[in-house]
């Protein structure tokens, strides 16, 4: 009798491992607390360039993310941050697209081509494993603005639709983390 129970339990365990491997060996994500180091990521952009979080140290990183249906709204954020932070060299501005729940029958080439046609104003990174979203448990129904300081620490997460007044308020919160010595001459005045 014990032998039969043992054999049944072995077959049951084997069946669980074969049928549900992702649930047993899935990576567990914990929400990154403010002030601690942000999750390591190594993501490819739509032009096949690799972006590694540890290589981006030295300047703050502004991450923009939302559901793909919010991309026009996110484009407004990206344009504004591009003008004030990316072009002046004050910070990296990255648009990260979570593709963890992408349909199984959508090819990688299709995704790359769709985002290349959309032509985001800042580097667009494809997060196939949802590393950024899982690190913060993001609500993708509204644009997310995430700030990582120059040392790689998570310091800000805001969720807003774009208006000039909201952008000004968010920008005032981001500015203290961004060095002003990178401002180009003539962009913000000639007094450097």
Supply the pTM of this predicted model: 0.74
pLDDT of residue 79: 92
Average pLDDT over residues 54-77: 87
108 vs 46, more confident? 46
Under a CB-based contact definition with an 8 Å cutoff, are residues 111 and 98 in contact? no
Under a CB-based contact definition with an 8 Å cutoff, are residues 99 and 127 in contact? yes
3-state class (DSSP) for residue 130: coil
Q: Which of 3-12, 50-59, 123-132 has the lowest mean pLDDT?
A: 3-12
Based on the number of CB atoms within 10 Å of its own CB, is 52 exposed (0-12), middle (13-18) or buried (19 or more)?
exposed
Domain 38-177 falls in which CATH fold? Glutaredoxin (3.40.30)
23, pLDDT greater than 70: no
- Which tokens is 32 given? 């990154």
Q: Which H helix or E strand runs over 144?
A: strand 144-148
183 vs 88, more confident? 88
pLDDT of residue 17: 66
* Alpha-carbon distance values, 61 to 20, 23, 111 (Å): 37, 32, 24
Under a CB-based contact definition with an 8 Å cutoff, are residues 187 and 82 in contact? no
For tokens 């590694």, the residue is 52
187, pLDDT greater than 60: no
pLDDT of residue 165: 92
pLDDT of residue 5: 75
Ordered by start, the domain boundaries in the chain are 38-177
Compute the half-sphere exposure of residue 12: CA atoms within 13 Å on the CB side of its CA: 6
Under a CB-based contact definition with an 8 Å cutoff, are residues 52 and 60 in contact? no
30 vs 187, more confident? 30
Axis-axis angle for helices 71-81, 164-174 (nearest 10): 50
pLDDT of residue 169: 92
- Provide the mean pLDDT of the chain: 79
What phi, psi does 120 have (nearest 5°)?
-60, 150
Average pLDDT over residues 83-91: 87
């Amino acid at each position: 009798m014990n032998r039969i129970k043992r054999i049944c339990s072995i077959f049951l365990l084997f069946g669980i491992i074969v049928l549900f491997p992702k649930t047993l060996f899935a990576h567990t994500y914990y929400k990154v607390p403010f002030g601690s180091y942000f999750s390591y990521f190594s993501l490819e952009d739509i032009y096949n360039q690799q972006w590694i979080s540890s290589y981006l140290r030295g300047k703050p990183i502004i991450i923009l993310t939302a559901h793909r249906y919010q991309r026009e709204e996110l484009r407004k954020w990206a344009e504004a941050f591009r003008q004030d932070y990316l072009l002046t060299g004050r910070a990296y501005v990255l648009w990260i697209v979570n593709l963890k729940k992408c349909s199984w029958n959508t090819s990688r080439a299709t995704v790359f081509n769709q985002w290349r046609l959309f032509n985001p104003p800042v580097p667009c990174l494809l997060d196939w494993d949802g590393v950024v979203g899982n690190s913060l448990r993001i609500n993708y129904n509204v644009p997310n603005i995430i700030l990582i300081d120059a040392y790689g620490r998570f310091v800000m997460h805001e969720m807003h639709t774009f208006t000039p007044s909201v952008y000004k308020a968010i920008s005032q919160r981001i500015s203290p983390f961004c060095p002003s010595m990178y401002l180009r001459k003539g962009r913000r005045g000639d007094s450097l």
